[in-house]
Chain A
Amino acid sequence: MKLWIKRLLAISGTAASLMTIHLYLCFVFFPKKSSDPRGHFYVEHGYVAEKKDTIDVMALGNSNLRYGFNPMYLYGRYGITSYNGGTDIQGFDNEYSQFKEASENQNIKVLLLETDSLFSSIGWRMAEDKKGPSFLLTPFFNHAKWKNLTAQDLLWPFSFDKKEKYYQKMKGYAVKTDKALFSDTRKSVRSSKQAKPTNRTLRALSKILKLAKAKKTKVILYTSPSVSTSDEQMSYCVGLAKRLSLPYYNFNDLYKGTSFSFSKHLGDATGTHCNLWGASVVTEFLYQQTLKPLNLQDRRTDLPSWNEDFADYKTDLAKRGLSETGE
Protein backbone atom coordinates (compact mmCIF):
# COMPACT_ATOMS: atom_id res chain seq x y z
CA MET A 1 0.00 0.00 0.00
CA LYS A 2 1.28 3.47 -0.83
CA LEU A 3 2.77 5.29 2.14
CA TRP A 4 0.51 8.31 1.99
CA ILE A 5 -2.58 6.11 1.91
CA LYS A 6 -1.29 4.25 4.95
CA ARG A 7 -0.75 7.54 6.76
CA LEU A 8 -4.14 8.89 5.77
CA LEU A 9 -5.73 5.74 7.14
CA ALA A 10 -3.73 6.06 10.34
CA ILE A 11 -4.82 9.66 10.86
CA SER A 12 -8.44 8.84 10.06
CA GLY A 13 -8.31 5.86 12.38
CA THR A 14 -7.06 7.98 15.26
CA ALA A 15 -9.60 10.70 14.55
CA ALA A 16 -12.42 8.13 14.38
CA SER A 17 -11.44 6.53 17.68
CA LEU A 18 -11.24 9.94 19.33
CA MET A 19 -14.67 10.91 18.03
CA THR A 20 -16.24 7.66 19.17
CA ILE A 21 -14.79 8.03 22.64
CA HIS A 22 -15.89 11.66 22.71
CA LEU A 23 -19.45 10.68 21.89
CA TYR A 24 -19.38 8.04 24.60
CA LEU A 25 -18.04 10.58 27.12
CA CYS A 26 -20.79 13.00 26.11
CA PHE A 27 -23.35 10.43 27.13
CA VAL A 28 -21.53 9.50 30.33
CA PHE A 29 -21.06 13.04 31.56
CA PHE A 30 -24.24 14.67 30.37
CA PRO A 31 -25.98 15.72 33.57
CA LYS A 32 -28.62 13.18 34.52
CA LYS A 33 -29.81 14.71 37.73
CA SER A 34 -29.79 18.13 39.26
CA SER A 35 -26.87 17.33 41.55
CA ASP A 36 -24.58 16.59 38.60
CA PRO A 37 -22.28 19.41 37.38
CA ARG A 38 -24.38 21.76 35.22
CA GLY A 39 -27.47 19.98 36.49
CA HIS A 40 -28.98 23.17 37.87
CA PHE A 41 -30.78 23.50 34.55
CA TYR A 42 -33.12 20.74 35.73
CA VAL A 43 -33.87 22.57 38.94
CA GLU A 44 -34.83 25.72 37.08
CA HIS A 45 -37.07 23.78 34.71
CA GLY A 46 -38.35 21.17 37.16
CA TYR A 47 -41.97 22.09 36.49
CA VAL A 48 -41.88 19.99 33.30
CA ALA A 49 -41.86 16.84 35.42
CA GLU A 50 -44.96 17.80 37.37
CA LYS A 51 -48.27 16.21 36.46
CA LYS A 52 -50.73 18.27 34.46
CA ASP A 53 -52.49 21.11 36.28
CA THR A 54 -50.55 20.64 39.50
CA ILE A 55 -48.88 24.04 39.90
CA ASP A 56 -51.10 26.95 40.81
CA VAL A 57 -48.47 29.57 41.62
CA MET A 58 -45.26 30.27 39.75
CA ALA A 59 -42.47 32.56 40.90
CA LEU A 60 -39.81 33.86 38.50
CA GLY A 61 -36.67 35.88 39.16
CA ASN A 62 -32.96 35.63 39.84
CA SER A 63 -31.03 34.19 42.78
CA ASN A 64 -32.75 36.63 45.15
CA LEU A 65 -35.89 34.61 44.48
CA ARG A 66 -34.19 31.23 44.28
CA TYR A 67 -33.22 31.47 47.95
CA GLY A 68 -36.12 33.61 49.02
CA PHE A 69 -39.32 31.65 48.41
CA ASN A 70 -40.08 28.20 49.84
CA PRO A 71 -42.87 26.26 48.04
CA MET A 72 -42.78 23.45 50.61
CA TYR A 73 -43.45 25.93 53.41
CA LEU A 74 -46.45 27.17 51.48
CA TYR A 75 -47.75 23.71 50.70
CA GLY A 76 -47.23 22.41 54.23
CA ARG A 77 -49.21 25.15 55.90
CA TYR A 78 -51.79 26.14 53.32
CA GLY A 79 -51.82 23.41 50.68
CA ILE A 80 -51.02 25.85 47.88
CA THR A 81 -48.87 24.38 45.10
CA SER A 82 -46.12 26.59 43.68
CA TYR A 83 -42.86 26.43 41.76
CA ASN A 84 -39.76 28.56 42.39
CA GLY A 85 -38.22 29.19 38.97
CA GLY A 86 -35.52 31.48 40.38
CA THR A 87 -32.18 31.17 38.57
CA ASP A 88 -28.79 32.64 39.34
CA ILE A 89 -28.06 35.63 37.08
CA GLN A 90 -31.41 35.63 35.31
CA GLY A 91 -32.70 37.71 32.45
CA PHE A 92 -36.28 38.36 31.41
CA ASP A 93 -35.95 36.54 28.09
CA ASN A 94 -35.38 33.34 30.00
CA GLU A 95 -38.19 34.06 32.41
CA TYR A 96 -40.55 34.35 29.47
CA SER A 97 -39.43 30.98 28.11
CA GLN A 98 -39.85 29.45 31.56
CA PHE A 99 -43.38 30.81 31.87
CA LYS A 100 -44.28 29.74 28.34
CA GLU A 101 -42.92 26.25 28.88
CA ALA A 102 -44.68 25.87 32.23
CA SER A 103 -47.99 27.15 30.87
CA GLU A 104 -48.11 24.39 28.30
CA ASN A 105 -48.81 21.76 30.92
CA GLN A 106 -49.90 23.81 33.90
CA ASN A 107 -52.82 26.02 34.67
CA ILE A 108 -50.93 28.77 36.46
CA LYS A 109 -53.23 31.04 38.38
CA VAL A 110 -50.70 33.42 39.90
CA LEU A 111 -47.36 34.59 38.53
CA LEU A 112 -45.01 36.27 41.00
CA LEU A 113 -42.32 38.34 39.29
CA GLU A 114 -39.36 39.33 41.42
CA THR A 115 -38.11 42.72 40.30
CA ASP A 116 -34.34 42.43 40.75
CA SER A 117 -33.99 40.64 37.42
CA LEU A 118 -35.62 43.64 35.72
CA PHE A 119 -32.40 45.53 36.24
CA SER A 120 -29.95 42.94 34.98
CA SER A 121 -28.64 42.73 31.48
CA ILE A 122 -26.98 39.44 30.78
CA GLY A 123 -24.77 39.01 27.74
CA TRP A 124 -25.64 36.73 24.85
CA ARG A 125 -23.18 34.10 26.07
CA MET A 126 -24.91 33.76 29.40
CA ALA A 127 -28.28 33.78 27.68
CA GLU A 128 -27.10 30.95 25.43
CA ASP A 129 -25.80 29.11 28.45
CA LYS A 130 -29.24 29.32 30.04
CA LYS A 131 -30.67 27.27 27.21
CA GLY A 132 -29.22 24.18 28.73
CA PRO A 133 -26.10 22.05 29.01
CA SER A 134 -24.50 21.53 25.63
CA PHE A 135 -24.28 17.89 24.70
CA LEU A 136 -21.13 17.95 22.57
CA LEU A 137 -19.14 20.06 25.01
CA THR A 138 -20.22 18.04 28.02
CA PRO A 139 -16.88 16.23 28.59
CA PHE A 140 -15.12 19.58 28.93
CA PHE A 141 -17.65 21.21 31.22
CA ASN A 142 -18.65 18.27 33.36
CA HIS A 143 -15.55 16.12 33.58
CA ALA A 144 -15.19 16.91 37.29
CA LYS A 145 -17.78 14.19 37.79
CA TRP A 146 -15.23 11.49 37.01
CA LYS A 147 -14.66 10.99 40.71
CA ASN A 148 -18.29 10.09 41.26
CA LEU A 149 -19.01 7.84 38.33
CA THR A 150 -20.79 4.60 39.05
CA ALA A 151 -20.73 1.36 37.09
CA GLN A 152 -24.23 2.21 35.89
CA ASP A 153 -22.97 5.54 34.51
CA LEU A 154 -20.33 3.80 32.48
CA LEU A 155 -22.25 0.78 31.22
CA TRP A 156 -25.58 2.38 30.35
CA PRO A 157 -25.06 6.15 30.15
CA PHE A 158 -28.49 6.89 28.73
CA SER A 159 -31.40 8.34 30.60
CA PHE A 160 -34.81 8.31 29.01
CA ASP A 161 -36.92 9.22 32.00
CA LYS A 162 -37.60 12.94 31.94
CA LYS A 163 -39.12 12.79 35.38
CA GLU A 164 -35.98 11.22 36.84
CA LYS A 165 -33.94 14.22 35.71
CA TYR A 166 -36.31 17.09 36.16
CA TYR A 167 -38.45 16.20 39.13
CA GLN A 168 -37.61 18.45 42.08
CA LYS A 169 -38.80 17.65 45.55
CA MET A 170 -37.97 21.13 46.74
CA LYS A 171 -39.82 22.70 43.77
CA GLY A 172 -36.87 24.85 42.74
CA TYR A 173 -36.04 26.36 46.12
CA ALA A 174 -32.43 26.22 47.44
CA VAL A 175 -31.72 26.26 51.17
CA LYS A 176 -29.06 28.35 52.85
CA THR A 177 -28.38 27.81 56.52
CA ASP A 178 -25.71 30.40 57.27
CA LYS A 179 -26.30 33.78 58.82
CA ALA A 180 -24.58 36.76 57.26
CA LEU A 181 -23.88 39.80 59.37
CA PHE A 182 -25.81 42.86 58.42
CA SER A 183 -27.31 45.50 60.63
CA ASP A 184 -30.83 44.93 61.88
CA THR A 185 -32.41 47.86 60.06
CA ARG A 186 -32.00 48.21 56.37
CA LYS A 187 -29.94 51.19 55.21
CA SER A 188 -31.22 53.07 52.22
CA VAL A 189 -29.22 52.95 48.98
CA ARG A 190 -29.66 56.10 46.93
CA SER A 191 -28.76 55.08 43.40
CA SER A 192 -27.28 52.23 41.43
CA LYS A 193 -25.68 51.57 38.09
CA GLN A 194 -28.75 50.11 36.45
CA ALA A 195 -31.80 52.15 37.43
CA LYS A 196 -33.91 51.22 34.45
CA PRO A 197 -34.55 47.96 32.62
CA THR A 198 -33.16 47.56 29.12
CA ASN A 199 -35.53 47.69 26.19
CA ARG A 200 -34.97 44.02 25.65
CA THR A 201 -36.10 43.29 29.20
CA LEU A 202 -39.22 45.43 28.77
CA ARG A 203 -40.08 43.62 25.55
CA ALA A 204 -39.79 40.27 27.32
CA LEU A 205 -41.94 41.61 30.16
CA SER A 206 -44.69 42.62 27.77
CA LYS A 207 -44.58 39.15 26.20
CA ILE A 208 -45.03 37.64 29.68
CA LEU A 209 -47.98 39.91 30.38
CA LYS A 210 -49.58 39.08 27.04
CA LEU A 211 -49.29 35.37 27.70
CA ALA A 212 -50.54 35.82 31.26
CA LYS A 213 -53.59 37.62 29.93
CA ALA A 214 -54.29 34.82 27.47
CA LYS A 215 -53.92 32.19 30.19
CA LYS A 216 -55.87 34.24 32.72
CA THR A 217 -52.87 34.29 35.07
CA LYS A 218 -52.76 37.03 37.69
CA VAL A 219 -49.40 38.81 37.66
CA ILE A 220 -47.93 40.30 40.83
CA LEU A 221 -44.70 42.28 41.12
CA TYR A 222 -42.63 42.09 44.23
CA THR A 223 -39.15 43.04 45.46
CA SER A 224 -37.38 40.60 47.76
CA PRO A 225 -35.23 41.66 50.73
CA SER A 226 -31.93 43.09 49.53
CA VAL A 227 -29.33 45.43 51.00
CA SER A 228 -28.30 46.65 47.55
CA THR A 229 -31.56 47.48 45.78
CA SER A 230 -31.59 51.24 45.38
CA ASP A 231 -34.33 53.80 45.99
CA GLU A 232 -34.13 54.61 42.29
CA GLN A 233 -34.92 51.04 41.34
CA MET A 234 -37.72 50.73 43.86
CA SER A 235 -39.44 53.92 42.76
CA TYR A 236 -39.12 52.74 39.16
CA CYS A 237 -41.00 49.58 40.15
CA VAL A 238 -43.72 51.66 41.79
CA GLY A 239 -44.15 53.60 38.55
CA LEU A 240 -44.05 50.47 36.42
CA ALA A 241 -46.69 48.72 38.52
CA LYS A 242 -48.94 51.75 38.25
CA ARG A 243 -48.54 51.93 34.48
CA LEU A 244 -49.25 48.25 34.03
CA SER A 245 -51.97 48.18 36.70
CA LEU A 246 -50.23 45.43 38.58
CA PRO A 247 -50.09 44.98 42.34
CA TYR A 248 -46.61 45.66 43.73
CA TYR A 249 -45.19 44.62 47.10
CA ASN A 250 -41.82 45.96 48.16
CA PHE A 251 -40.48 43.82 50.98
CA ASN A 252 -37.72 46.34 51.64
CA ASP A 253 -40.44 48.76 52.83
CA LEU A 254 -42.91 46.28 54.22
CA TYR A 255 -40.56 44.04 56.19
CA LYS A 256 -41.03 46.17 59.24
CA GLY A 257 -44.46 44.63 59.68
CA THR A 258 -42.96 41.15 59.71
CA SER A 259 -40.49 39.28 61.88
CA PHE A 260 -37.80 39.63 59.18
CA SER A 261 -34.44 40.79 60.43
CA PHE A 262 -31.55 41.80 58.16
CA SER A 263 -29.13 40.65 60.79
CA LYS A 264 -30.58 37.15 61.18
CA HIS A 265 -32.29 36.17 57.96
CA LEU A 266 -29.69 36.71 55.22
CA GLY A 267 -27.61 33.70 54.19
CA ASP A 268 -24.46 35.14 52.62
CA ALA A 269 -22.34 38.23 52.15
CA THR A 270 -24.21 39.39 49.04
CA GLY A 271 -26.98 40.62 51.31
CA THR A 272 -29.60 39.57 48.79
CA HIS A 273 -30.04 35.87 49.52
CA CYS A 274 -32.24 34.70 52.37
CA ASN A 275 -31.44 31.75 54.55
CA LEU A 276 -34.03 29.10 55.45
CA TRP A 277 -35.61 31.24 58.18
CA GLY A 278 -35.65 34.38 56.07
CA ALA A 279 -37.33 32.47 53.25
CA SER A 280 -40.02 31.29 55.67
CA VAL A 281 -40.79 34.87 56.75
CA VAL A 282 -40.88 36.07 53.14
CA THR A 283 -43.08 33.17 51.98
CA GLU A 284 -45.49 33.79 54.85
CA PHE A 285 -45.58 37.46 53.91
CA LEU A 286 -46.32 36.65 50.27
CA TYR A 287 -49.08 34.28 51.31
CA GLN A 288 -50.75 36.77 53.59
CA GLN A 289 -50.47 39.68 51.17
CA THR A 290 -51.00 38.17 47.75
CA LEU A 291 -52.24 34.59 47.83
CA LYS A 292 -54.64 34.43 50.77
CA PRO A 293 -57.07 36.98 49.28
CA LEU A 294 -57.28 34.89 46.11
CA ASN A 295 -58.68 31.86 47.93
CA LEU A 296 -56.56 29.35 46.08
CA GLN A 297 -57.45 25.72 46.48
CA ASP A 298 -55.92 23.63 49.25
CA ARG A 299 -54.49 20.75 47.23
CA ARG A 300 -53.35 18.53 50.09
CA THR A 301 -56.19 16.09 49.55
CA ASP A 302 -55.55 15.35 45.91
CA LEU A 303 -51.77 15.34 45.46
CA PRO A 304 -50.22 12.24 47.08
CA SER A 305 -46.85 12.84 45.42
CA TRP A 306 -46.61 16.33 46.88
CA ASN A 307 -47.59 14.96 50.28
CA GLU A 308 -44.77 12.47 49.96
CA ASP A 309 -42.36 15.24 48.99
CA PHE A 310 -43.46 17.31 51.92
CA ALA A 311 -42.95 14.40 54.32
CA ASP A 312 -39.44 13.90 52.93
CA TYR A 313 -38.77 17.60 53.33
CA LYS A 314 -39.81 17.50 56.98
CA THR A 315 -37.70 14.42 57.64
CA ASP A 316 -34.70 16.00 55.99
CA LEU A 317 -35.01 19.16 58.06
CA ALA A 318 -35.37 17.10 61.23
CA LYS A 319 -32.29 15.08 60.31
CA ARG A 320 -30.28 18.27 59.93
CA GLY A 321 -31.66 19.66 63.18
CA LEU A 322 -33.34 22.56 61.40
CA SER A 323 -36.78 24.05 61.64
CA GLU A 324 -38.45 26.55 59.33
CA THR A 325 -39.04 29.11 62.00
CA GLY A 326 -36.46 28.24 64.62
CA GLU A 327 -33.21 30.17 64.37
Chain B
Amino acid sequence: MNEKEQLIEVLNAVKPGIDYEKEQHLVTDHILTSFDIVMLVAQINEAFSIELTPLDLEPENFDNVEALLTLIKSKEA
Protein backbone atom coordinates (compact mmCIF):
# COMPACT_ATOMS: atom_id res chain seq x y z
CA MET B 1 0.00 0.00 0.00
CA ASN B 2 1.46 3.34 -0.89
CA GLU B 3 1.41 6.31 1.41
CA LYS B 4 -1.63 7.92 -0.23
CA GLU B 5 -3.75 4.83 0.29
CA GLN B 6 -2.48 4.54 3.82
CA LEU B 7 -3.42 8.16 4.49
CA ILE B 8 -6.92 7.75 3.10
CA GLU B 9 -7.38 4.70 5.29
CA VAL B 10 -6.36 6.72 8.33
CA LEU B 11 -8.72 9.54 7.32
CA ASN B 12 -11.61 7.14 6.96
CA ALA B 13 -10.86 5.58 10.32
CA VAL B 14 -11.06 8.96 12.03
CA LYS B 15 -13.91 10.47 9.99
CA PRO B 16 -15.76 8.14 7.65
CA GLY B 17 -18.26 9.09 4.96
CA ILE B 18 -16.19 11.64 3.07
CA ASP B 19 -14.74 11.31 -0.42
CA TYR B 20 -11.15 12.22 0.39
CA GLU B 21 -10.03 11.82 -3.22
CA LYS B 22 -12.33 14.58 -4.39
CA GLU B 23 -12.55 17.07 -1.50
CA GLN B 24 -10.04 19.89 -1.85
CA HIS B 25 -11.09 22.11 1.04
CA LEU B 26 -11.39 19.84 4.05
CA VAL B 27 -10.54 22.62 6.50
CA THR B 28 -11.65 25.81 4.73
CA ASP B 29 -15.06 24.29 3.95
CA HIS B 30 -15.40 23.21 7.58
CA ILE B 31 -15.61 19.50 6.78
CA LEU B 32 -12.95 18.57 9.33
CA THR B 33 -13.38 20.01 12.80
CA SER B 34 -10.60 20.73 15.25
CA PHE B 35 -11.52 17.51 17.06
CA ASP B 36 -11.09 15.59 13.82
CA ILE B 37 -7.75 17.25 13.20
CA VAL B 38 -6.24 16.36 16.57
CA MET B 39 -7.44 12.79 16.32
CA LEU B 40 -5.96 12.68 12.85
CA VAL B 41 -2.65 13.96 14.17
CA ALA B 42 -2.43 11.14 16.71
CA GLN B 43 -3.18 8.53 14.03
CA ILE B 44 -0.84 10.05 11.42
CA ASN B 45 2.00 10.25 13.94
CA GLU B 46 1.46 6.59 14.69
CA ALA B 47 0.95 5.39 11.10
CA PHE B 48 3.90 7.27 9.53
CA SER B 49 6.22 7.36 12.55
CA ILE B 50 6.54 11.13 12.45
CA GLU B 51 6.05 13.83 15.03
CA LEU B 52 3.71 16.65 14.02
CA THR B 53 3.81 19.90 15.99
CA PRO B 54 1.14 22.59 16.43
CA LEU B 55 3.04 24.57 13.80
CA ASP B 56 2.06 22.00 11.21
CA LEU B 57 -1.64 22.48 11.81
CA GLU B 58 -2.05 25.22 9.24
CA PRO B 59 -5.28 24.97 7.23
CA GLU B 60 -3.24 24.75 4.01
CA ASN B 61 -1.56 21.56 5.18
CA PHE B 62 -4.81 19.75 5.97
CA ASP B 63 -7.08 20.98 3.21
CA ASN B 64 -6.68 17.96 0.99
CA VAL B 65 -4.91 14.62 0.68
CA GLU B 66 -2.12 16.01 -1.52
CA ALA B 67 -1.23 18.74 0.97
CA LEU B 68 -1.20 16.22 3.81
CA LEU B 69 1.10 13.92 1.87
CA THR B 70 3.49 16.80 1.25
CA LEU B 71 3.50 17.54 4.98
CA ILE B 72 4.10 13.92 5.91
CA LYS B 73 6.93 13.57 3.41
CA SER B 74 8.62 16.72 4.74
CA LYS B 75 8.48 15.33 8.25
CA GLU B 76 9.88 11.98 7.25
CA ALA B 77 13.02 13.62 5.90
- A–B touching in complex (CB under 8 Å): no
